[in-house]
Amino acid sequence: MSDLTQFQHPRFARRYIGISDRLEQLGVGDLRRELLQGLHGCVVDVGCGDGKNFRHYPPTVTRVVAVEPDDVLRRHAEQNAASAAVPVDVVAGHADDVPVADGSADAVVMTLVLCSVPDLGTALTEVNRVLRPGGELRFGEHVRAQNRVAALAQDALTPLSRRVDGNCHQNRDTAAALERSPLTVTRLRRFGLRVAALLPGQPMIVGTAVKPPTGP
């Protein structure tokens, strides 16, 4: 099994559980449901956190392999898996070394994860490996702002967010990385997620990227 030491962020993990509970009330639960609708078969949820996606998987999903490197979040995910509507196996692992066979997943799900992986290109190549030809990545991520001033502010904040928020990069251009990846982006919606009345919306992307049916 991979060495997961570098992915342990217990203080962030405990804080994130509270934050993600509040985000559910602020409409993020509806976003999760929208993102996951229509999925079927075997789904790999990479960086599943405490398992906030689990209750939103439709009954057409036959199995979820939920991969989480952080020990604190994985324990909470195991508890949430027990009450999920579909079968969920929670396993230790990380995005650069997903413990799933080549071409075995009908879909991979990544929500609020690509901001934290060591390298976007490596993680997306690994997604391509585990997907079957024609399989899809469903992503929901906060990203680099398109407004130049806001992006500069994200650049300034990123050293702090990496330190206190489990290697979270505020300033990642994940949409550009998806375009460079072996996957084909078939749907991408940008919007601002408002988490507090006085704060600007956090720039987000949600969408789908497909592994070409005859791809490598």
Determine contact, residues 143/137, Cβ cutoff 8 Å. Answer: no
35 contributes a contact to ligand SAM by CB under 6 A: no
The residue with tokens 């976003």 is 31
48 contributes a contact to ligand SAM by CB under 6 A: yes
Of 69 and 207, which CB lies nearer to ligand SAM in the complex structure? 69
112 contributes a contact to ligand SAM by CB under 6 A: yes
Among 36, 44, 95, 175, binds ligand SAM (CB under 6 A): 95
Determine contact, residues 68/47, Cβ cutoff 8 Å. Answer: yes
116 contributes a contact to ligand SAM by CB under 6 A: yes
Instruction: List, as one string, the DSSP characters of 6-73.
Output: GG--HHHHHHHHHHHHHHIIIIIHHHHHHHHTT--EEEEEET-TTTTTGGG--TTEEEEEEE---HHH
Residues 156-175 that bind ligand SAM (CB under 6 A): 166-167
Q: Quick one: which segment of 46-54, 57-65, 129-137, 197-205 binds ligand SAM (CB under 6 A)?
A: 46-54
Q: In this structure, what DSSP letter does residue 163 have? A: H
Which residue type is seen at 47?
A: G
Among 70, 106, 126, 136, binds ligand SAM (CB under 6 A): 70
94 contributes a contact to ligand SAM by CB under 6 A: yes
- Reduced to 3 states (helix: H, G, I; strand: E, B; else coil), residue 136 is strand
Q: Quick one: which segment of 62-70, 78-86, 129-137, 204-212 binds ligand SAM (CB under 6 A)?
A: 62-70
Binding site for ligand SAM (CB under 6 A): 7, 16, 20, 46-49, 52-53, 68-70, 73, 94-95, 111-113, 116-117, 166-167
